[in-house]
Amino acid sequence: MSTEHTDRFDAAFHDIAIRHERNWMFIAVSMIALLFIAAVFLVVHDYGVVAKTSAVYSDPNTPSTLADFQGSGVRQTGPDSYSVYEIGRAWSWTPGTATPLQLPQGAHVTFYVTSGDVLHGFEIQGTSINLTAIPGVVGQVSYTFDKAGTYMIICNEYCGAGHQAMIGKIVIGGGRS
Ligand code: CUA
């Protein structure tokens, strides 16, 4: 008698426990899913930019011989639009290191980035721009410089003895030039 009572109680308790476990599992899985979606949204939306590949060459030296990459490397493509052809080399950015890159405030810039030797990390501090400069590959990333000021281009991939000094400068002016 007493055993039967306990069994019935156990069965009822078991059902309730299962229901609670399912609910809590649903809540936990939903929270993880929401966090995941929020993280993906943040990366894609706020940190912008999953960088695109603009071109690939069998000879890694090809991009640096192209007309676009010669001279200042800066081309105006519209009233507020610019293309910047950037080459990373151990241990400088061209343009950027020898001569700061000067652009007006509000400039919408598409960077075409490659490397003349080894892998470099093309990161512009305070922006969403962060891509790897790869020999033989031209990466592409766009950004609008809404704030005036000086932005540092830093190399964020170890590339040899001078890596920490591989720094360039972008100066965004107060008005249109
Ligand atoms: Cu270039 Cu580190």
In this predicted model, what pLDDT tens digit does every residue of 55-77 receive, in sequence order? Answer: 888 888 888 888 888 888 999 99
Length of the chain: 177
What CATH architecture is 52-172?
A: Sandwich (2.60)
Across the range 102-126, mean pLDDT stands at: 94
Place of tokens 């965004």: 172
Q: Smallest Cα–Cα separation from 119: which of 81, 157, 146?
A: 157
Q: How far is the CA of 58 from the centre of ligand 1 (A)?
A: 22
Q: Smallest Cα–Cα separation from 85: which of 115, 106, 61?
A: 115
Cβ pair 97, 114 in contact under 8 A: no
pTM: 0.72
Q: What's the alpha-carbon Rg for the chain, to the nearest Å?
A: 27
Q: Say whether 165 sits in a helix, a strand or coil.
A: helix
Give residue limits of the domains in the chain. Answer: 1-47, 52-172
**CA atoms of 97 and 170, how far apart (whole Å):** 9
Atom of ligand 1 nearest to the CA of 119: 1
User: Which is higher by pLDDT, 48 or 9?
Assistant: 9
pLDDT of residue 176: 46
pLDDT at 95 over 60: yes
Atom of ligand 1 nearest to the CA of 163: 2
Residue type, 116: G
Atom of ligand 1 nearest to the CA of 164: 2
pLDDT at 49 over 60: no
**Share of residues in the chain with pLDDT > 70 (%):** 92
User: What are the respective helix, strand and coil percentages of the chain, to the nearest 5?
Assistant: 30, 35, 35
pLDDT at 122 over 50: yes
Residues with CB under 6 A from ligand 1: 88, 91, 120, 155, 157-159, 163, 166
Q: How far is the CA of 145 from the centre of ligand 1 (A)?
A: 24
Q: Over the stretch 128-154, which tens digit does the pLDDT of each residue have? A: 899 999 999 999 999 999 999 999 999
Atom of ligand 1 nearest to the CA of 156: 2
Q: Say whether 12 sits in a helix, a strand or coil.
A: helix
Q: How far is the CA of 48 from the centre of ligand 1 (A)?
A: 22
pLDDT of residue 47: 60
